[in-house]
Chains A and B, each alone.
Chain A
Amino acid sequence: MNYFVCLKQVPDTTTRFQLKEGEKEVDLSAVKWVINPYDEFALEEAIQWSEKDSGKVEVCAVGPAQTKEALRTALAMGAHSGVHVHTEQSLDSLQTAQVIFDSLSEKLKKTDVIFCGRSAVDWNFGAFGGALAQLLNRTYISLAVKIEKKENSLEILRSVEGGLVEILEVTGPVVISVTKGINTPRYPSLPGIMKAKNKPIETLSAPSFEPHFTVEHLSFPKPRPSVQMIEGTADEQAQKLVRLLKEKEQVL
Chain B
Amino acid sequence: MKALVFIESSSDYFKLIRYAQSLFEEVCFFTIGSEDMLWPDISSPIFRVLKKDSSYHPCYFSKIVSDLYDQEKPDVLLALDHSSNRDFLPGLSMSKKASFFSDVSEVRLQDHSLFIQKPLYTGKLSAQLKVLQKPCVILLNPSALPLTQKYEKGTPQIQDIPFEPFDTPIKKITRVQSSQVKKQINSAEKIVSGGRGMGEAKNFELLEKLAETISAAVGASRAVVDAGWVPHHMQVGQTGTLVSPKLYIACGISGAIQHLVGIQGAQVIVAINKDASAPIFKKSNYGLVGDVFEIIPALIKELSKA
Contact = CB atoms under 8 A, between A and B. Distances in A.
Interface in A104-154: 119, 121-131, 133-135, 139-143, 145, 153
Given A37-B239, A130-B94, A159-B233, A221 B102 contact: no
Nearest to A214: B130
A171 B86 contact: no
Interface stretch (B143-151, B192-200, B201-209, B290-298): B290-298
Contacts of B42: none
A163 B178 contact: yes
Q: Counting chain B CB atoms within 10 Å of each CB, which of A16, A181, A211, A212 scores highest? A: A212
A130 B89 contact: yes
A26 B121 CA distance: 11
Nearest to B180: A163
A237 B298 contact: yes
B284 interface: yes
Given A93-B90, A213-B131, A216-B129, A139 B290 contact: no
Given A241-B299, A242-B302, A229 B289 contact: yes
Interface string B71-105: 00000000000111011111111110001111100
Q: Counting chain B CB atoms within 10 Å of each CB, which of A19, A153, A213 scores highest? A: A213
Interface stretch (A7-15, A46-54, A75-83): A7-15
Contacts of A15: 121, 124
B1 to A, nearest CB: 16
Interface of A: 11, 13-17, 19, 26, 37-38, 92-94, 97-98, 119, 121-131, 133-135, 139-143, 145, 153, 158-172, 180-181, 210-221, 224-225, 227-231, 234-235, 237-239, 241-242, 244-246, 249, 251-252
Interface of B: 56, 58-59, 82-84, 86-95, 99-103, 115-116, 118-133, 136, 168-181, 184, 186, 190, 214, 231-235, 238-240, 246-247, 257-258, 264, 267-271, 281-291, 294-295, 297-299, 301-303, 306
Given A212-B99, A251-B268, 9 more contacts: A94-B93, A122-B121, A142-B83, A153-B171, A161-B184, A220-B125, A234-B295, A237-B298, A238-B301
18 contacts: A11-B121, A92-B100, A124-B119, A131-B91, A131-B93, A131-B100, A139-B170, A145-B232, A162-B184, A165-B177, A170-B171, A212-B132, A227-B284, A228-B286, A234-B297, A238-B298, A246-B306, A251-B247
